[in-house]
Chain A
Amino acid sequence: MSSIKEFFASRLGIISVGLFIGVFASLLQYWGNPGNMGICVACFERDIAGAVGLHRAAVVQYLRPEILGFVLGALISAYAFKEFRPRAGSAPIVRFILGMIAMIGALVFLGCPWRAVLRLAGGDGNAIFGLLGLAAGIGIGALFFKAGYNLGRNQKEYPSVGWLFPLIILGLLALRLIFPQIPGQDKNGILFYSLKGPGAMHAALIISLVVGLAVGVVAQRSRFCTMGAFRDLYLFRQLHLLSGLIALLVAAFVTNLILNQFHPGFVGQPVAHTMELWNFMGMVVAGLAFALAGGCPGRQLFMAGEGDGDAGVFVLGMIVGAAVSHNFGLASSPKGVGPHGIAGVIICMIALLFIGFTMRQKA
């Protein structure tokens, strides 16, 4: 076991994990997931919010098994390697708000950092502006860290505290099995499904779940994090996590070429718009929120699987944020930003600056 541990902590380990995620994300598109959306933590959590009826955007309702797999894979890995650490209590309400804001920003761009990279790997030039925004947002976050920003210590908790979020995930999996999609129907029992749009595009349940579990295991082991990739570069001049992210990009690009999924351009890209300023600004907001919360949306799922209740609160914030985003007209569509998307970005930015400036330890 210890040699496996060492491998995943090494440079080669993180690169292997990036390659693995990149290849399988592209394959998931080939197997049925939406274009340049083999894996998108933000989009998929938004689809889950739709599946349980928190918002009623008909085209994005599907209880994505990949997300369930991420958490359960991380849980299995954490137990297998004796790393399950039930912990919570580090400014949970702030983490909830950061999760909401992260989702609102990501849905203005239309994707989490993983999808930003996957969009680029599929030839979507608009993703460049999103990635620049992400880098800028995390850069602002790094400045806050240098200025003493800190959400404070968590505490050891009962094992059951660490289990609550994985139990919610198991509950969602049970719902998905009890109420599968009936062809041509937009609802079965309490779950909503999409008949058209990205929510109607998905790989088979078992494929999505198995890939999700595998990604959950390797990502938990390697601490793969797209936000940490930039943050560690800014704060510590470290390339460790960034090398994993670059490996993901290269692997997805090559796999896309092989599968004939690479279509370079700006206009008409799948689930994307061309309002570049807002592609940029959406990800500035999301990137800063991830930085202040200590992890990209994927990493938050893996930490939640390790027993981190605060990461679980962040994820719940993201899911509620998705509902707010669609109910209030903040989310973008291929036509461009939503009717109140720009106002949403501005308000979120003000809230982030408030959090960043006020939650500092005095030196």
Chain B
Amino acid sequence: MSEQVDARGLSCPQPVLMTMEKLKTLNQGELVVLVDTDTSRENVSRAAASLGWQVKEVQPVGDEYRITLQKG
């Protein structure tokens, strides 16, 4: 079970802040981020890439997105 950040219902910059904080503590591995707007999806993906993480998968779940980030 990979680590998870639930940023649904939060607007920018919260989802990115939460994701980056978690990515920094994890250093490598896999992180699932839940967001519910396209803006957050783009911002989280962009921020993860800037820290050297890969966006492995973006899975739409209804109106929401389940973003899987991976490193190492």
Contact = CB atoms under 8 A, between A and B. Distances in A.
A310 B9 CA distance: 12
A83 interface: yes
B9 A235 contact: no
Contact of A294 (B12, B38, B47): B12
Interface residues of B, number: 20
Given A236-B16, A236-B50, A238-B50, A294 B39 contact: no
Given A145-B13, A232-B13, A238 B63 contact: no
A223 B42 contact: yes
B11 interface: yes
A320 B66 CA distance: 39
B20 A150 contact: no
Contacts of A81: 38
Q: In the complex, which range does the number of interface residues on chain A fall in?
A: 20 to 34
A85 interface: yes
B8 A9 contact: no
A140 B20 CA distance: 20
Interface stretch (A28-36, A96-104, A152-160): A152-160
Contacts of B13: 145, 228, 231-232, 235-236, 294
B49 to A, nearest CB: 11
Contacts of B16: 235-236
6 contacts: A85-B63, A223-B42, A231-B13, A238-B47, A294-B12, A310-B11
